[in-house]
Amino acid sequence: MQQNALTELEELTLNAASKSFLKETAKWSYFLSIIGFIFVGLMIVFSFFAGTIFNSLPNMEQMPFDIGPIMTGTYLLLSLIYFFPILYLFQFSVKMKKALQSKDDADLATAFEKLKSHYKFVGVLTIIILSIYVLFFIMAIFGAAVTG
């Protein structure tokens, strides 16, 4: 059964409309990835000034520790996390354009592999963030029960 399904998929062909949709998708993913790289760069630049900005806020003088390095590290970490899905999206767009021009199945497969990696990364990141939200919600309920 598994071998039969693989054989059927290997015979899949792209018609003109599918190629047109993929070409347009590659263009938009290229645009979004370039914008994403620009924002990652801006986040990295901002991270170096974040410490000064947060330390200059009026209420920060009361903090028992210096929040500047923590904010710089946070923004650098977020930049690093955000970089990878953008890179996968960029690689998808480049490989898809190349595959459509050269009609190369290997490039097409690589393009879809990069798109899969993009969505997998975003999906896992979403699960992690939702888990953190649930954990904070449980901690809030527990905290309210203890103090109330």
| Angle in degrees, CA 128, 133, 139, rounded to 5 | 125
pLDDT of residue 30: 98
Mean pLDDT to the nearest integer, 116-130: 97
Q: Are 85 and 118 contacting, i.e. CB atoms less than 8 angstroms apart? A: yes
pLDDT of residue 69: 84
Of the pLDDT bands very low, low, confident and very high (cuts 50, 70, 90), residue 8 is low
Q: Over the stretch 18-74, which tens digit does the pLDDT of each residue have?
A: 999 999 999 999 999 999 999 999 999 999 888 778 777 777 667 677 777 888 899
Q: Write a three-state SS string for the chain.
A: CHHHHHHHHHCCCCCHHHHHHHHHHHHHHHHHHHHHHHHHHHHHHHHHHHHHHHHCCHHHHHCCCCCHHHHHHHHHHHHHHHHHHHHHHHHHHHHHHHHHHHCCHHHHHHHHHHHHHHHHHHHHHHHHHHHHHHHHHHHHHHHHHHHC
pTM greater than 0.85: no
pLDDT of residue 81: 96
- Whether pLDDT at 3 is above 90: no
Mean pLDDT score of the chain:
90
Q: Are 69 and 113 contacting, i.e. CB atoms less than 8 angstroms apart? A: no
pLDDT of residue 5: 57
